[in-house]
Amino acid sequence: MRKKAQSVALLPFDADKFETRAILKKEAQARQVLAELKGFAPVIPNQDILINAISLQEARESSAIENIVTTEDELYKNMTSVPPETDSSAKEVINYRKAVYMGCQMLQKRHLISVNDIVKIQETIIENNAGIRRLPGTSLVNSTTNEIIYTPPQDYQEIKVLLDNFCAYMNNEEDSLWKMAVLHYQFETIHPFYDGNGRTGRILNVLYLILKHHLDTPILYLSSYIIKAKNTYYALLQEVREKNNWDNWILYILDGIEQTSKHTLKKIKAIRNLLESTLYNVQTACPKIYSKELVEIVFENPYSKIDFLVNKLNINRKTASKYLKELEANNFLTHIQAGKETLYINTALMDLLKQ
């Protein structure tokens, strides 16, 4: 039996319920660690190294929440191959990563998030243009029991009003981290699309952090935190809908920001250390081919190929091949065949990313 669609209140809600002593204390802790992450990220001057590595991991983990499972190796192989290989799970994850980049570009241009931006993000993830739901019948179902646990708004005009209101609230001057928890709840409760709502909502989280200057680049995501206890995430969302239990939901999201910031900071430090040691070791072992730019290429692209060096270093294919083979001969890379292409893997970086 279908549950009646739940009425969704417009934002803002009563802020007093979000400013309890426990929430304000957790907010301060999360802000402190997030600020440390923002301040430390620039120690790697080539930010593409960080963004490529962390956003791709996020894409994989966010998709895994939706039971779209692939590995880092499959992702990098699919990204590198021309034409791309046909692994459908990897393709969906790569689409998610494209949507992250596109969202950041739109945000940089206008310093706000619009309903059209959200639609474009979702269309990129799903690779169709069905857009905002127009047909009734959408419900959220318990995958184990098949019980309908929530029926979102069904009327197209109501969904549009709610999304306009969502964007107005997202773009206003309030920059608290608890507001991100409220926004995430609201978006998942509106559930405006036939598919891709969860992944779109998780991208909006990081865009909010950039919009409010908590971060400069998209390097913090909650998917790894959520997937460790996915049932808790869904249960807390439902408790807000059914019992108006905001405290536990907001504390959960704030803890996610804090814990994920610590984890990301640790990973950035490890990438920085590996990059610095590799720069030194390549200069020592391969002085005739060494350049900072060469080493950075195989960090930006843990699965590299000749074309990457040709385009970035403005060298011919023969020279690029020589460079990659020399790096492999000195144990910095290892090669595999992917169809007709030879791909060179930065195994030390891949091992780090898989931890």
- Model confidence pLDDT, tens digit, residues 10-27: 999 988 888 899 999 999
At 1 the pLDDT is 46
Per the CB < 8 A criterion, the answer to whether 183 and 169 are in contact is yes
Q: Compute and round to an integer the Cα radius of gyration of the chain.
A: 22
How many other β-carbons are positioned within 10 Å of the β-carbon of residue 170? 24
What domains can be seen in the chain, in order of their start residue? Answer: 15-268 (1.10.3290.10), 286-353 (1.10.10.10)
Query: What pTM does this model have?
Result: 0.92
pLDDT tens digits for range 226-276: 999 899 999 999 999 999 999 999 999 999 999 999 999 999 999 999 999
| Higher-pLDDT residue of 307, 141 | 307
pLDDT tens digits for range 156-204: 999 999 999 999 999 999 999 999 999 999 999 999 999 999 999 999 9
pLDDT tens digits for range 125-156: 999 999 999 998 899 888 778 889 899 999 99
* d(C-alpha 333, C-alpha 320), whole Å: 14
SS (H, E, C) 285-316: HCCCCCCHHHHHHHHHCCEECHHHHHHHHCCC
| Higher-pLDDT residue of 99, 69 | 99
Distances (CA, A) of 54 to 50, 152, 268, 323: 6, 32, 9, 27
Residue 287 has pLDDT above 70, yes or no: yes
Residue 15 three-state SS = helix
Lookup: tokens for 177: 């981290």
Residue 272 three-state SS = helix
